[in-house]
Amino acid sequence: MAGEFDLVFEGGGAKGTVFVGALRAFEERGHTARRLVGTSAGAIAATLLAGGYKAAPAPGEEVSEFERAALETDANGRPVFEGFMDIPSAESLMDDPAVLAESLTQRIFQVVDFPGIPDFAEKMMDRWLIRQLMKIAAYRELFSFIELGGLYAGVRFRDWIRSKLALKGLDGLTLKQFFDKTGKDLSLLVTDTTAHELRVLNHRTAPACPVDMAVRMSMSIPFVFQEVAWNRGWGPYQEKGKPVEDLAGHTMVDGGALSNFPLHLVTSNDTAVEAVMGDVSADAAGTMGLLIDETLPVDDCGSPSDDCEDDEKDGLLGDRRRLKSIKRVTRLINTMMEAHDKQVIEAHADVVCRLPAKGYGTTEFDMSDRRKDALIQAGRRAMEAHLDQRGL
**pLDDT of res. 312:** 42
- In this structure, the number of other CB atoms found within 10 A of the CB of residue 391 comes to 6
- In this structure, the number of other CB atoms found within 10 A of the CB of residue 314 comes to 12
Residues 291-315, mean pLDDT to the nearest whole number: 70
Helix axes 41-50, 211-218, angle to 10 degrees: 150
- pLDDT of 374 higher than 80: yes
341, 221, 337, 288: which is closest to 37 by C-alpha?
Answer: 288
Residues 267-296, mean pLDDT to the nearest whole number: 90
- Rounded Cα gap, residues 122 and 350, in angstroms: 67
- In this structure, the number of other CB atoms found within 10 A of the CB of residue 392 comes to 16
**How does residue 191 score in pLDDT terms, banded at 50, 70 and 90?**
very high
**pLDDT of res. 341:** 63
pLDDT in tens, 27-66: 999 999 999 999 999 999 999 999 999 999 999 999 999 9
- pLDDT of 338 higher than 60: no
pLDDT in tens, 90-107: 988 888 777 887 888 888
Residue 190: exposed, middle, or buried by beta-carbon count in 10 A (0-12, 13-18, 19+)?
A: buried
Residues 216-245, mean pLDDT to the nearest whole number: 94
Residues 309-316, mean pLDDT to the nearest whole number: 46
- Rounded Cα gap, residues 236 and 170, in angstroms: 22
43, 3, 1: which is closest to 19 by C-alpha?
Answer: 43
**pLDDT of res. 345:** 80
- pLDDT of 310 higher than 50: no
Residues 191-214, mean pLDDT to the nearest whole number: 97
- pLDDT of 269 higher than 70: yes
**How does residue 1 score in pLDDT terms, banded at 50, 70 and 90?**
low
Residues 268-294, mean pLDDT to the nearest whole number: 90
pTM as predicted: 0.89
Q: Is the Cβ–Cβ distance between 105 and 130 less than 8 Å?
A: yes
**pLDDT of res. 326:** 58
Q: Is the Cβ–Cβ distance between 293 and 15 less than 8 Å?
A: no
- Rounded Cα gap, residues 103 and 18, in angstroms: 40
pLDDT in tens, 127-174: 888 889 999 988 898 899 889 989 899 999 999 999 999 999 999 999
**pLDDT of res. 320:** 45
Q: Is the dihedral of CA 12, 14, 18, 21 positive or negative?
A: positive
